[in-house]
């Protein structure tokens, strides 16, 4: 017989899946995610709890660099398993103590509905606090990249922005990104798929070639 107190944990969505839709209360008002995310990229991220030290540094980091996300047509959405009142008190506390205003929506997921929908609860880590998940969601509502961190390790904001820009540049130019790619670096040209394409690549002098299957170019 099922234990009535047992928490049900959904498997996390996968890269390429449509982002699960939801309705939730946030610090900026009610949100239907599919409507809020219409026509733009979204970075949906969770943190374990309000009024905790690592989470405060992370949420402040997102807020400080919010304009960089907006420049990439990207909205931020935070989440933790806390009440709306706790969120508001924490936002005000951070603003009073550091001058940083967390003015992006933070989901009050006290019933764990969204956390379970996105697989943010990892039972071997915690059954009541979301791990540090980051979902990159494109304008078609498709999940493009997922990052997961444990409760005791903060995220890297430079990497989140770098990965977001890499996804967008890759989509625009139909290329791939090499190790440590940053804006302005050369990109990888898709490898040949036929013998004719291979011969054309070998003869091509317009790109930098390590070999026919690994070629780079500037955009």
Mean pLDDT of 191-216: 92
Helix, strand, coil share of the chain (percent; to 5): 30, 25, 45
Structure tokens at 84: 């709306």
Q: How many CB atoms lie within 10 A of CB 98?
A: 13
pLDDT of residue 2: 44
Residue owning tokens 């039972």: 123
Name the binding residues. Answer: 132
Asked whether the predicted pLDDT for residue 180 surpasses 80, the reply is yes
pLDDT of residue 219: 93
Catalytic residue among 55, 63, 130, 164: 55
Query: Under a CB-based contact definition with an 8 Å cutoff, are residues 128 and 46 in contact?
Result: no
How many DSSP H helices and E strands does the chain contain?
7, 10
pLDDT of residue 137: 98
Name the binding residues for substrate. Answer: 132
- What pLDDT, in 10s, does the model give residues 102-152? 999 999 999 999 999 999 988 777 777 888 999 999 999 999 999 999 889
Residue ranges, CATH 3.40.30.10, the chain: 17-173
- What pLDDT, in 10s, does the model give residues 64-87? 999 999 999 999 999 999 999 999
pLDDT of residue 9: 53
Active-site residue flag, 55: yes
| The CATH homologous superfamily of the domain defined by 17-173 | Glutaredoxin (3.40.30.10)
pTM over 0.85, yes/no: yes
């Amino acid at each position: 017989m099922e234990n009535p107190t047992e928490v049900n944990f959904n498997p996390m969505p996968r890269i390429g899946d449509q982002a699960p839709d939801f309705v939730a209360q946030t610090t900026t008002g009610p949100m239907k995610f599919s409507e809020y995310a219409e026509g733009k990229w979204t970075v949906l991220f969770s943190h374990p709890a309000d009024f905790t030290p690592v989470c405060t540094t992370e949420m402040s980091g997102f807020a400080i660099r919010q304009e960089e996300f907006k420049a990439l047509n990207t909205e931020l959405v935070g989440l933790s398993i806390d009440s709306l009142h706790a969120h508001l008190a924490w936002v005000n506390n951070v603003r009073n103590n550091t001058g940083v205003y967390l003015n992006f929506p933070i989901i009050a997921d006290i019933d764990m509905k969204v956390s379970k929908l996105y697989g943010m609860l990892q039972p071997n880590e915690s059954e009541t606090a979301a791990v540090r998940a980051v979902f990159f969601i494109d304008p078609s509502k498709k999940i493009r990249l997922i990052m997961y961190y444990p409760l005791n390790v903060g995220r890297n904001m430079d990497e989140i922005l770098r990965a977001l820009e890499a996804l967008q540049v890759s989509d625009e130019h139909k290329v791939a990104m090499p190790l440590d790619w940053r804006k302005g670096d050369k990109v990888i040209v898709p490898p040949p798929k036929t013998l004719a394409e291979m011969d054309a690549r070998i003869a091509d002098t317009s790109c930098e070639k390590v070999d026919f299957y690994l070629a780079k170019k500037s955009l």
